[in-house]
Chain A
Amino acid sequence: MKLQGRVWKFGENIDTDVIIPARYLNTSDPTELARHCMEDADPEFSKKVRPGDVIVAGKNFGCGSSREHAPIALKAAGVACVIAPTFARIFYRNAFNMGLPILESPEAAQAIQEGDEVEINADTGEIRDISTGEVYRAKPIPAFMQTLIADGGLIPHILKSRSEK
């Protein structure tokens, strides 16, 4: 899977209350959640972000709550991929379950600047900063996670393995 988009940069330890504040969790409607995505870090984010854009952030992205509303909000806001040195573990799982590609690369997370145009090959983990010409390689996605993505997420994966039994 190849993606290309414009970069929005955020700092370290972006928590799920920043990605989608709990005060909006009285709904799970993706469109409504998207309207408040990243609101407490950048109130204008949902207006500025365009489909296909990429978030590049610091370490421990997605820490805090287990709310799946976080990857749902990001995806519905148009974010196509998140790049960070590390992700909080529940967010990491949720993102794959939701079909939001995320890549771990400390080098890319540090070097890529806001506004850069990047091209990402989610299969190989290659990240190309078109604006600078630099190429980075993310940690490969574990084979099991690749199977999940190939099957279309966790639930299709389960349904598939049940029908094969």
Chain B
Amino acid sequence: MKRPMTIAEKILAAHAGRDAVEPGDLVEVSVDFALGNDITAPIAIRIFREAGIERVFDPERIALVADHFCPNKDIKSAEQAKILRDFAREQGISHHYDGGEAGVEHVLLPEKGLVLPGDVVIGADSHTCTYGALGTFATGVGSTDLAATMITGKTWFKVPESLKLIYTGALRPWVTGKDLILHTIGDLGVDGALYQAMEFTGPVVDSLPMSDRFSMANMAIEAGGKVGLFNPDGETERYVTGRAVRTYTAYRSDADAIYARTVTYDCTAIEPVVAFPHLPENTRPVREARDVKIDQAVIGSCTNGRIEDLELAARVLAGRHVAKGVRCIVLPTTPRVYGEALDRGLIKIFLEAGAVIGPPTCGPCLGGHMGILAKGERAIATTNRNFVGRMGHPESEVYLSNPAVAAASAVLGRIAHPAEVVS
């Protein structure tokens, strides 16, 4: 009888040309799609050239996205973005996104249907795990691994054990996928899923829209996970239909698949959550954080910069104003998200609320540009990391939250529950 398998095991087996794999197996797998950005791809390109290779394995299966320090923040960043541009032209890589075509990579690639259910995707960016929301085995690697895949179209993995997370009950008002994942990281710890495949399941997850699923899969790495997977369903299919650039095969875990561990969360008990400095595991309910004054609120990033996230922030900011002395920075993540925000009147709401609206970029999330913190300043952000110095000065602080909490905090000048602002 065939061994029952998890979705992670099924995808790896299929890409290794095997009937089955088990945790601990080392497998060489074919890669459906690979990506690099303006920070990581220049190193991969240098390694590619040093290896003396002339052509990439398939120019249609590689994306180069200039999103981190772009629009170029300084001369060095401009040089890095240029390396991508030159390499894309030389190799005929059409999925090179720059200037007005650029967006935050982990929102842009799913939006364009370049990463699909059942795929193996590697990216020289740790939040590549975002695509797990689609049922994609997607994980971050370094530049050397990216270079190797650009050469061979393959990579190697140790088959991870799977960790099953079951979300039951019902979501309370203002609780989003971001709160579920922060709560989970708070429970597991930043290395609680180290080397493992996290699998998000249960009735609450089944009813989550794709945007929340992306937010959750995005932060699997913040618990140490190799991938954060959802089993594809009707919602996945609706999202992918009309976008997919290739045919794909979706996989779902067998009912009797084997897990290293299973953890159940009753969502009825989960409130909007904030992660305190300087680790994503330092989570507390928002109501316990209401005495924390803020200088800046950032709404955007690969975690929470989708149109649904902007809608949520706009619900809180509509007809209200950012507190005096607080900078609220809204960064729509792709040209399409920006356009939709315009069409839906969200940009006007943000402008009238006194927010700064920036271009699609990772920007301040990693302390790059467009919202750097001074010594002693505090930001609430819908981003994914609150490490020391992450958004600027080593003595600044970042608190992580969902978009509604960030918006409410911008209005009150301190960390706030959206219900304090919206009746």
Contact = CB atoms under 8 A, between A and B. Distances in A.
A128 interface: no
Interface in A3-57: 13, 15, 17-18, 21-23, 25-28, 39-41
B191 A59 contact: yes
B40 interface: yes
Given A28-B43, A86-B191, A144-B156, A40 B388 contact: yes
Interface string A67-109: 1110100000000000000101110011001100000000000
Contact of A21 (B73, B145, B389): B389
Contact of A90 (B51, B77, B142, B392): B142
Interface stretch (A112-120, A131-139, A153-161): A153-161
Contacts of B152: 158
A137 B170 CA distance: 49
B346 to A, nearest CB: 28
B387 A17 contact: yes
A33 B416 CA distance: 39
A21 B368 CA distance: 10
Contacts of A17: 366-367, 385, 387-390
Most chain B CB within a 10 A radius of its CB, from A27, A67, A68, A159: A68
B194 A89 contact: yes
A121 interface: no
B394 interface: yes
B144 A94 contact: yes
Interface in B115-142: 123-126, 128, 140-142
B143 interface: yes
A121 to B, nearest CB: 24
Contacts of A94: 141-142, 144-145
Interface in B186-205: 190-191, 194-195
A63 B39 contact: no
| Interface range, B side | 35 or more
Contacts of A158: 51, 148, 151-152
B12 interface: no
B317 interface: no
A124 interface: no
Interface string B364-395: 00111000000000000000010111101010
B97 to A, nearest CB: 19
A144 B26 CA distance: 8
A55 to B, nearest CB: 17
Contacts of B195: 89
A90 B194 contact: no
A154 B51 contact: no
B190 A13 contact: yes
B51 A93 contact: no
Given A60-B194, A86-B194, A26 B144 contact: no
B156 A13 contact: no
B79 to A, nearest CB: 8
B28 to A, nearest CB: 10
Contacts of A59: 191
B47 interface: yes
Contacts of B39: 22, 25, 67, 69
A26 B366 contact: no
B399 interface: no
12 contacts: A21-B394, A22-B390, A26-B74, A26-B77, A40-B388, A64-B221, A65-B125, A68-B143, A90-B141, A94-B142, A153-B144, A158-B151
Interface of B: 26, 39-40, 42-43, 46-47, 50-52, 68-69, 73-74, 76-77, 80, 123-126, 128, 140-145, 147-148, 151-152, 156, 158, 190-191, 194-195, 221, 224, 226, 279, 366-368, 385, 387-390, 392, 394
Per CB-CB distance, the 10 closest pairs between chain A and chain B, nearest first, are: A94-B142, A26-B76, A60-B191, A68-B142, A97-B144, A22-B366, A66-B140, A66-B126, A17-B387, A40-B389
Given A17-B388, A26-B80, A158-B151, 14 more contacts: A13-B279, A18-B387, A18-B389, A21-B389, A26-B69, A64-B385, A67-B39, A89-B226, A90-B140, A93-B145, A97-B142, A98-B142, A154-B144, A155-B50
